[in-house]
Amino acid sequence: MRIPALRKTLLVGACVFGVSAIFLISLPGMFLELLGMETGEQLQWSMRMIGITVFALAGNMWNNSKQEDDKRVIHVAQIMCVSAMLLGLLTLLVPVEITWFGYFYAIIGFSFAAAYLVNLVSASQS
């Protein structure tokens, strides 16, 4: 079974996460402002730590997209499907008034969840 669409989704997701990670690491205050949240020094430090973790996740997504074993790619895509959906949901539950950026970020998460789901269903039917 070949699953090129899942591999591409993982690659694109890795790129989006990579850009998000760089944003979180280099401009955490701006990221927090765009979400309508406080921008204190401690929160910015936390955002940088999250950025480093997201960077590692992006690298793992990139590497896993190139796995020879399709079943491993499917398992990673299943995890990312749930994670993307929860990221979108959590973004909408931010404990402040949701900004345009919050909606945008949630849409990105839900879009990736939908892409993973559609491609997972397609892969299971082939």
Q: Tokens 């909606």 identify what position?
A: 103
C-beta neighbour count of 64 within 10 angstroms? 19
Those residues whose C-beta lies under 8 Å from the C-beta of residue 41, and which sit 6 or more positions away, are none
Those residues whose C-beta lies under 8 Å from the C-beta of residue 6, and which sit 6 or more positions away, are 65, 73, 74, 77, 116, 119, 120, 123
What are 15-43's pLDDT values in tens digits? 999 999 999 999 999 999 999 999 999 99
DSSP state of 35: T
Look up residue 103 and give its two tokens. Answer: 């909606």
pTM (two decimals): 0.91
- The whole-number average pLDDT for the span 72-99 is 96
